[in-house]
Amino acid sequence: MQTLGIYAITTVVFFAIDMLWLGFIARNFYRKHLGYLMAEQVVWAAALVFYFIYIGGILYFAILPALKAGSLQTALVNGALLGFLCYATYDLTNLATVKNWPILVTAVDLVWGTLLTAATSGIAYMVAQKLW
């Protein structure tokens, strides 16, 4: 039950940060650089499946090990590494295979994924530490 609670906390934190980024801060950035590839409507089912799998990965690889170690640093470092690895997989694959994929998008996404996942891991760890 505790793990489900931490998963729920992580989900709220991740969505709050990522929706701020995608919906407001970087909305025009992605449209400007990838508009020619973007669908008119987001396929929310696919997006939600990704989010729930990825958040499970954050929990498993960053937050739970950090709670076991009692270490915020573990949450931040493991989260940053996971974010970099996952976002690198997506962006570098696109850079290698998608015609005219902008290298700027790859660079921004790598930084974003690293920061997003580290921040989510750290915040969820701190909340879980207080609650459990």
**Domain coordinates of the chain in residue numbers?**
2-131
The closest of 131, 116, 130, 124 to 64, measured between CA atoms, is: 124
> What tens digit of pLDDT does each residue of 12-70 get?
999 999 999 999 999 899 999 999 999 999 999 999 999 999 999 999 999 999 999 99
Given CA atoms 56, 57, 58, 62 in this order, what sign does their dihedral have?
Answer: positive
Please report the pLDDT score of residue 132 as a whole number.
87
